[in-house]
Amino acid sequence: MSEYGKVKVAKLKLKGEKRSHKKHKSKKRKAEDESGSNSSKASKNTDTTDHGGWWHCTSVHQMTGSLAIQLGELPVYVRALDNGLFTAGAPHDQGEGPSPEEVLTAVPAGDDRIAFKSGYNKYLGVDGAGRVVGRADAIGPREMWEPVFQDGKMALLAANSFFLGVDEEDNVVAVSSKAGPDQMITIRSSALRDCDKPKEIPEEERGKLRDVEKNYVKKFQKFQDKHLRISEEGVNELKDARNQGHLHEALLDRRSKMKADRYCK
């Protein structure tokens, strides 16, 4: 493993060794930290939007399904050619994702390695000259790649123990034994993450507002006389409540007025 793969190890605390007292954060420092956290989230969202919804993978387990390998800081991706070789694609405009020829499929190949399949249904490997080629029908030792992370950056180690990059003619190669600025990459995914999935609408809230109110009355009514007690007021109040984000409170208030809720006295 190259120097790039080494990780800094914290100093061990020995038994009996005095530990320094931790200082409590001031309210001002806490507010600054929270502000920084919000800024970081906004930056990530902007990064994803700038790349057409393709988000930045930060761990190996995130690298599944459709992926694109971004070369450097610019929106330039590894592009498959019909002769089995790969080149650096043309730069994309802001908000534009990779083109079909730049989309790969990731396949797990062990705990810390993955394989990539091109749109031509061939696995990416490295030949004797260090060129990245996509001509294999199955995953072998030459088709395994290891993402290497350090200090928030990533490089891709090929089976020949060299890092992926491009040569002077923009051919994608693995010929550098060290991971310098030219070997820094970003792997992007278009997979829908849990945090991006739309929240599922509860069954009770599907349909028209009058039906929604009826559903909640059925759910919470005491049913002492076997008759539904639904407010005769219009639904404009409920429309406003839904737009303002407190539909449940408005429905509860209307059930309370009708004495039609088991939780209302």
Structure confidence by residue, pLDDT tens digits, 67-121: 999 999 999 999 999 999 999 999 999 999 999 999 999 999 887 899 999 999 9
Kindly provide the b/e burial profile for residues 119-129, where b requires at least 16 CB atoms within 10 angstroms of the residue's own CB. Answer: beebbbbbeee
- Residue, of 53 and 260, whose pLDDT is higher: 53
Q: Which of 97-101, 222-226, 229-233 has the lowest mean pLDDT?
A: 222-226
Residue 229's nearest CA partner among 181, 186, 202, 262 is 262
Q: For the chain, what are the domain ranges?
A: 51-192, 203-257
Rounded (10°) angle between helices 247-257 and 209-220: 60
Q: Is the pLDDT of residue 5 over 70?
A: no
What pLDDT score does 167 carry?
96
CA 224 from chain centre, in angstroms, equals 50
pLDDT tens, position by position, 150-208 = 888 999 999 999 999 999 999 999 999 999 999 999 999 988 765 555 556 666 666 67
Q: How many Cα atoms are found within 13 Å in the side-chain-facing hemisphere of 176?
A: 18
CATH class, range 51-192: mainly beta
pLDDT tens, position by position, 16-55 = 444 444 445 555 555 555 555 555 555 667 999 999 999 9
Amino acid identity, residue 49? Answer: T
Is residue 84 within 8 A of residue 117, CB to CB? The reply is no
